[in-house]
């Protein structure tokens, strides 16, 4: 096996609860995270006690239906929104307790963000190089002035858009704009790169290029990457996919490269359900539907596992 899928699967190791690898300090920690919005006197709970742990250097996709809470989570991690309750920490920054000055520093230096809409990522009257340089100018001390031009060229070349150096967004394709946007997000060497549906407005070829760019950033720069996506090809081509349902993390898929009995390299995917502190878990929706499990299920403890069965006690 070769190509993006093999590259994504290779190097995946066993992770402890929540995804952090044993012996590695977590970069992202969300503990019983709650976010409540109020509109016209009605409260909507977008996050309902979400738990998530991400280790440094991971490349992770967040998936879920519309309204599941994944974009709300991304906005909190980006420092664009604050939790209503619970705890959230990124690279030692407490996202609940930060004051305005710390929040500004956090957004400029610790986290990078790529929006789905290219118009939100790039200033139309600046060239690609000027767009990438702007975050460095705003952060001032993050990248010394004499090193900025070299940093700009390095990032644009790394992402395969060095030829766009002197072009404005109107002279770039959608895929080129998004790769330049990734360079902008990386300008100040953030520990965490967040992307909200970065391939949502692109054709399949451009989407593949964006995924390859995210993998390059992850592997060559060591940047931790979290991608919110509805694109099944993106979700299935990363090492770890976390599903969010009803404001909580519900399940995960971990992937690794292996060799089968014929000597062929294949991707092995293993699905897990998330167990919270109270022992609650959500069955994958497809499993429950296929077995017609509703309202309650019959469970039994075995020596080394638990069985879950449909409740047939009232059948007939």
CA distance 92 to 102: 12
The reported pLDDT for the residue numbered 78 is: 95
CA distance 107 to 104: 5
> CA angle 139-145-150, nearest 5°?
105
Asked if residue 311 has pLDDT above 70, the reply is yes
Pairing label, strands 240-245, 248-259: antiparallel
The reported pLDDT for the residue numbered 217 is: 94
- The model's pLDDT over 51-92, given as tens digits with 9 standing for 90+, comes to 999 999 999 999 988 888 999 999 999 999 999 999 999 999
- Mean pLDDT, the chain, rounded, equals 85
Query: In the chain, where does DSSP find H-type helix?
Result: 4-9, 70-77, 100-109, 118-121, 128-139, 145-158, 174-186, 204-221, 232-235, 285-290
> Contact at 8 Å (CB) between 23 and 52?
no
Please report where in the chains the tokens 């429950």 appear, as a residue. 288
Three-state SS for 92? coil
CATH superfamily entry for domain 4-110+190-273: P-loop containing nucleotide triphosphate hydrolases (3.40.50.300)
- The model's pLDDT over 219-244, given as tens digits with 9 standing for 90+, comes to 999 999 999 988 877 888 888 999 99
- Record the pTM: 0.84
Residues of each domain in the chain carrying CATH 3.40.50.300:
4-110+190-273
Asked if residue 2 has pLDDT above 60, the reply is no
Which residues touch 169 (CB under 8 Å, ≥6 apart)?
A: 118, 122, 124, 128, 131, 177, 180
Please report where in the chains the tokens 């790394």 appear, as a residue. 158
CA distance 66 to 246: 10
Strand partners, 294: none
Q: Which two tokens stand for residue 303?
A: 């020596």
CA distance 199 to 185: 16
- Of 200, 180, 191, give the one whose Cα is nearest residue 70: 200
The reported pLDDT for the residue numbered 309 is: 84
Which residues touch 261 (CB under 8 Å, ≥6 apart)?
A: none
- The model's pLDDT over 124-133, given as tens digits with 9 standing for 90+, comes to 999 999 999 9
Q: Which two tokens stand for residue 222?
A: 């060591």
Q: Which two tokens stand for residue 27?
A: 């970069």
Three-state SS for 162? helix
Q: What are phi and psi of 243, to 5 degrees?
A: -95, 135
Three-state SS for 189? coil
Q: How many other C-beta atoms are found inside a 10 Å radius of the C-beta of residue 71? A: 19
CA distance 194 to 192: 6
pLDDT over 90, % of the chain: 50
What average pLDDT score do residues 38-58 get? 89
200 CA to centre of own chain = 15
């Amino acid at each position: 096996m070769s190509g993006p899928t093999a590259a994504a699967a290779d190097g995946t190791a066993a992770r402890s609860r929540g995804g952090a690898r044993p012996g590695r300090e977590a970069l992202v920690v969300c503990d019983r995270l709650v976010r409540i919005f109020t509109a016209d006197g009605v409260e909507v709970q977008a996050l309902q006690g979400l738990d998530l742990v991400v280790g440094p250097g991971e490349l992770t996709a967040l998936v879920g239906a519309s309204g599941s809470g994944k974009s709300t989570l991304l906005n909190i991690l980006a420092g664009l929104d604050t939790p209503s309750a619970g705890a959230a920490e990124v690279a030692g920054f407490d996202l609940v307790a930060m004051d305005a000055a710390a929040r500004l520093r956090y957004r400029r230096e610790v986290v990078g963000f790529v929006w789905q809409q290219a118009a939100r990522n790039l200033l139309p009257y600046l060239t690609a190089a000027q767009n990438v340089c702007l975050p460095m100018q705003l952060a001032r001390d993050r990248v010394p002035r004499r090193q900025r031009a070299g940093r700009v060229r390095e990032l644009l070349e790394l992402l395969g858009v060095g030829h766009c150096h002197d072009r404005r967004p109107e002279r770039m394709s959608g895929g080129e704009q998004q790769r330049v946007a990734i360079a902008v997000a990386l300008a100040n060497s953030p520990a965490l790169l967040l992307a909200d549906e970065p391939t949502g407005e692109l054709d399949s070829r451009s989407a593949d290029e964006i995924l390859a760019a995210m993998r390059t950033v992850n592997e060559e720069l060591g940047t931790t990457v979290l991608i919110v996506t509805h694109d099944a090809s993106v979700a299935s081509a990363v090492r770890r996919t976390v599903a969010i349902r009803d404001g909580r993390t519900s399940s995960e898929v971990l992937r690794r490269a292996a060799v089968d009995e014929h000597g062929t390299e294949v991707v092995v995917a293993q699905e897990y359900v998330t167990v919270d502190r109270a022992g609650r878990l959500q069955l994958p929706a497809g499993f429950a539907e296929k077995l017609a499990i509703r309202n309650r299920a019959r469970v039994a403890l075995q020596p080394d596992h638990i069985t879950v069965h449909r409740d047939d006690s009232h059948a007939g």
